[in-house]
Amino acid sequence: MYRHVKDLQFEARPAHPDAHFAMKIQELVGGQFGEMSVMMQYLFQGWNCRIPGKYKDMILDIGTEEIGHVEMLSTMIARLLEGAPSEVTADAAAANPALAAILGGMNPQHSIISGGGALPTNSQGIPWNAGYIVASGNLLTDFRSNVHAEAQSRLQTSRIYNMTDDPGVKAMLKFNLARDTFHQQQWLRGIEQLVADGLADVIEDSHAEEEDADQARTYWTLHEGSAGPQGSWAQGRTPVTDQEVLVHGDTPESTDDGTPPPPDPSLYATYDGSLGTPETGQPSATQSVMSKVKKALD
């Protein structure tokens, strides 16, 4: 269950309104790596976490913090939009090219849809969607996702920081940059903790004996004159399995030319008969199902 606390985690007070910047900073609300993404990603990871105690609580501490980050940014956007020239008409703009430029660069939905408030969308007006997030149940894998999300978020925040001179906006972004830095470290150290607690092997070792050992140490070059093998990644021994890295040219492992089977005629795939007559009627899998069902019921 959740509770609200009335004050923002950090103040969100721009020195001046700036409707263009309001449009840009929407990327940090509803973009692929905006605060809605990390909020929903960590909440779902926390709810799905099957280890009561420090892991589940840490994930939910950070996820709960991120709800408040969406709140901070939403407040900032409403304030950046104060007095935005949204209902300026063509005649007014005609007399004022600078005003026309501001209007042209505004997000029209900041007026038409939200009435001067934040939108749950990115800087191009695309609604946030849950296809951005990851919650797999495996913490090692998910902490890697979290590292990447914080890294992308910090990179985008760094770029946006360079797009404003407003001291109030910069003050809040300094806070956000710092939280991105701290959280990035949290997830990196979370990975170390998983290793220390013996909880990393479950996926690192999954099917370790079954995977194709040679392919797990082979660099394939697929360019004429590729400089790729000059990197350290294609030299020495693999970190996990401690095997010599191989460099492989572009000859395939197989002699399979990938032709699909002859088609079912009632699906009208174009076919010239060159692969023989397709099997139709009941598929062999079904036939074997049925014979087993019958046997089981005899």
- Restricted to residues 96-125, the positions that interact with a second copy (CB under 8 A) are 96-109, 111-118, 120-125
Q: In angstroms, give the least distance from the CB of 72 to a second copy.
A: 7
Cβ-based nearer residue to a second copy, 38 or 190: 190
> What are the Cα distances from residue 154, in Å, to 147, 150, 173?
11, 6, 10
Q: Which of residues 221-240 bind a second copy (CB under 8 A)?
A: 221-228, 230-234, 238-240
What's the CA gap between 234 and 231, in Å, rounded? 6
Among 83, 167, 244, 276, binds a second copy (CB under 8 A): 83
| Cβ-based nearer residue to a second copy, 38 or 87 | 87
Of 38 and 102, CB closest to a second copy: 102
Q: Using the rule CB under 8 A, which residue among 35, 38, 42, 193 binds a second copy?
A: 193
Instruction: Classify residue 62 as exposed, middle or buried by CB count within 10 Å of its CB (0-12, 13-18, 19+).
Output: buried
Tell the smallest beta-carbon distance from residue 278 to a second copy (Å).
7
For a second copy, the closer of residues 18 and 38 by Cβ is 18
Minimum distance between the CB of residue 96 and a second copy, rounded to whole angstroms?
7
Cα separation of the two ends of the chain: 54
CB 267 to a second copy: min, Å: 4
Identify residues 48-77 at the interface with a second copy (CB under 8 A).
48-58, 60-61, 64-65, 67-68, 70-72, 74-75
Q: Each residue of 129-148: b (16+ CB within 10 Å) or e? A: eeebbebeebbbebbbbbbe
Q: How far is the CB of 298 from a second copy (least distance, A)?
A: 10
Contact between 246 and 219 under an 8 Å Cβ cutoff? The reply is yes
CB of 38 or CB of 55, closer to a second copy: 55
**Distance from CA of residue 10 to its chain's centroid?**
26
For residues 144 to 183, the per-residue mask of contacts with a second copy, x marking binding by CB under 8 A and - elsewhere, is: xx-xx--xx-xxx-xxxxxxxxx---x---xx-xxx-xx-
Q: How many residues bind a second copy (CB under 8 A)?
A: 220
Nearest approach, Cβ of residue 243 and a second copy (Å): 10
Specify whether the CB–CB gap between 66 and 39 falls below 8 A.
yes
Whether 180 contacts 28, CB under 8 Å: no
Query: What is the β-pairing status of strands 246-248 and 218-220?
Result: parallel
Considering only residues 244-283, where is the footprint of a second copy by CB under 8 A? Answer: 250, 252-272, 274-275, 278-283
Residue with tokens 């089981």: 296
* Residue 195 interacting with a second copy (CB under 8 A): no
- Work out whether the CA dihedral 259, 263, 269, 274 comes out positive or negative: positive
Minimum distance of a second copy from residue 132's CB (angstroms): 7
Q: Give me the least distance between CB of 38 and a second copy, in Å please.
A: 13
Q: Of these, 19, 35, 42, 277, which contacts a second copy (CB under 8 A)?
A: 19
Own/partner pairs, 175-180, CB within 8 angstroms, 24+ separation: 175/9, 175/10, 176/28, 176/69, 179/65, 179/69, 180/150, 180/153, 180/154
* Interacting residues with a second copy between 29 and 48 (CB under 8 A): 30-32, 36, 40, 43-44, 47-48
d(CA 191, CA 144): 8
